[in-house]
């Protein structure tokens, strides 16, 4: 199997000229967040994300020459900054498997007024946290689905122990990154019994755990609605043990709903992508490792930006192209999700960037 199993639109004729007004899509949503995937490869084979049966030895990942260089990514990030992007998240695949990632962090950290962060499975953080922090990375999100070693190894399907990720989190904290966010995807019958232990492990540490509803991204994980643990249930479970109070969002369009421990021991977040769709405030755009734009995590089609980038496109031409893609955007997949749409062929998260 190969990674490119979905259509990519490409406009090789000039896009309509961008008039400089703030971008708004067809539903009036602005552009604020950009997720940049730096690789489609990962050293984990999480059963719900990159199941080994599909992502095996024969799987054809993107060839190196198709992947954007750090300089190409930095140029695009600068252009996106000019279009109103305030936050950039580096992701993948597993971003830390991309060689010398700290170099990209250094280039992006130079861009003015950009909130830069990175999502990682944490397994390589011990080695890299120092270099990443030195290059300008101020905070990080680490995915960790259980503190129970057997469960965690079964989920990552690559025999990585929990201890390795915990060391990575400590290394990031020691390097000065804060706040550290810890993402746990909760799947019914797999790790829903581990929610309270996860909350308790990080309560009072300054780190923020975020519980994510299991989503129907991609087409390889056999998603079923029955597997989803609604966020309301998670808040109830933790709230029965520790009193929780709702907290205001940090900014409009923030994906996590924040809950504060009433005793001042910090906060948790829940991301209810399935039970409480937040399409109406979605201001995110994704750039795949090979330079295609995706206007929705559940998109079935991307838009090739690399062609213009590699064929002498000026900044102005690239601005026009991005503006045209955003202005045409009408995605609201999570609001119209049904059992039928969930079966549609969608792009894998490891490709598009989580």
Among residues 51 and 239, whose Cβ is nearest to ligand SAM? 51
Q: Minimum Å distance from CB 271 to ligand SAM?
A: 8
**What part of residues 216-245 is at the interface with ligand SAM (CB under 6 A)?**
217, 221
- Structure-block tokens of residue 115: 């909130």
- Which of 39, 143, 220, 283 binds ligand SAM (CB under 6 A)? It is 143
Task: Give 18 or 181: the residue with its C-beta nearer to ligand SAM.
Answer: 181
Nearer to ligand SAM, 117 or 281 (CB): 117
CA angle 265, 266, 271 (to 5 degrees): 140
Residue number with CB closer to ligand SAM (92 or 106): 92
Among 61, 214, 294, 298, binds ligand SAM (CB under 6 A): 214
Nearest distance in Å: CB 17, ligand SAM:
35
Cα separation, 188 vs 332, whole angstroms: 25
DSSP annotation of 347 reads -
Whether residue 241 contacts residue 197, with contact meaning beta carbons closer than 8 Å, is answered with no
Interface residue with ligand SAM, options 83, 185, 234, 322 (CB under 6 A): 185
CA 59 to chain centre: 22
Q: Which is nearer to ligand SAM, 23 or 38 (CB)?
A: 38
Judged by CB under 6 A, does residue 215 bind ligand SAM? yes
Supply the minimum distance, in Å, between the C-beta of residue 269 and ligand SAM.
Answer: 13
Q: Are 286 and 353 in contact (CB under 8 A)?
A: yes
Where in 108-137 is the site for ligand SAM (CB under 6 A)? 119-121
Shortest distance, CB of residue 41 to ligand SAM, whole angstroms? 10
Q: Does 49 bind ligand SAM (CB under 6 A)?
A: yes
- Helix, strand or coil for residue 152? helix
Size of the site for ligand SAM (CB under 6 A): 20
**Which string of x and - marks every residue 53-92 that binds ligand SAM (by CB under 6 A)?**
--------------------------------------xx
Q: Which of 23, 34, 38, 42 binds ligand SAM (CB under 6 A)?
A: 42
CB closer to ligand SAM, 165 vs 309: 165
Q: Cis ω on the peptide bond leading into residue 203 (within 30° of 0)?
A: no
3-state secondary structure 290-346: CCEEECCCCCCCEEECHHHHHCCCCHHHHHHHHHHHHHCCCCCHHHCCCHHHHHCCC
Q: Specify the residue, 291 or 354, whose C-beta has the smaller distance to ligand SAM.
A: 354
Residue 254 is given by DSSP the state -
Torsion of CA 268, 271, 277, 282, to 10 degrees: 100
The CA distance from 73 to 104, in Å, is 8
Distances from the Cα of 62 to the Cαs of 165, 240, 294, 354, in angstroms? 27, 47, 17, 17
- Name the nearest CA neighbour of 101 among 178, 32, 36: 36
Q: Summarize as ranges the residues that interact with ligand SAM (CB under 6 A).
A: 42, 48-49, 91-92, 94, 119-121, 143, 183, 185, 212, 214-215, 217, 221, 349-350, 354
């Amino acid at each position: 199997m190969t990674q490119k199993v979905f259509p990519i639109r490409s406009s090789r004729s000039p896009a309509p000229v961008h008039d400089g007004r703030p971008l708004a899509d067809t539903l009036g949503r602005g552009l604020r967040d950009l997720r940049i995937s730096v690789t489609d490869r990962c050293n984990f084979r999480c059963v719900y994300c990159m199941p080994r049966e599909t992502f095996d030895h024969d799987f054809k990942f993107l060839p190196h020459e198709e992947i954007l260089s750090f300089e190409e990514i930095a140029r695009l990030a600068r252009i996106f900054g000019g279009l109103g992007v305030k936050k950039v998240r580096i992701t993948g695949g597993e971003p830390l498997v991309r060689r010398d990632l700290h170099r990209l962090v250094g280039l992006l950290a130079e861009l003015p007024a950009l909130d830069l962060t990175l999502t990682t499975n944490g397994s390589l953080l011990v080695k890299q946290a120092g270099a990443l922090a030195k290059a300008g990375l101020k905070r990080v999100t680490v995915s960790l689905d259980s503190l129970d070693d057997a469960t965690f190894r079964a989920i990552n399907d690559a025999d990585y122990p929990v201890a390795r990720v915990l060391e990575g989190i400590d290394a990031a904290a020691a390097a000065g990154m804060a706040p550290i966010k810890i993402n746990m995807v909760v799947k019914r019958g797999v790790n829903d019994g581990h929610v309270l232990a996860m909350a308790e492990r990080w309560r009072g540490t300054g780190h923020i755990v975020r519980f994510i509803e299991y989503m129907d991204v991609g087409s390889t994980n056999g998603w079923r609605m029955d597997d989803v643990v609604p966020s309301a249930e998670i808040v109830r479970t933790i709230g029965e043990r520790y009193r929780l109070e709702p907290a205001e969002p940090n900014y409009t369009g923030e994906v996590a709903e924040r809950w504060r421990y009433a005793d001042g021991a910090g906060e948790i977040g829940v991301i209810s992508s399935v039970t409480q769709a937040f399409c109406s405030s979605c201001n995110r755009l994704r750039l795949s490792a090979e330079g295609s734009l995706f206007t929705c995590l559940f998109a079935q089609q991307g838009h090739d930006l690399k062609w213009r980038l590699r064929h002498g496109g000026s900044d102005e031409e690239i601005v026009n192209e991005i503006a045209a893609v955003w202005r045409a955007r009408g995605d609201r997949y999570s609001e119209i999700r049904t059992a039928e749409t969930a079966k549609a062929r969608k792009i894998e998260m490891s490709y598009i960037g989580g």
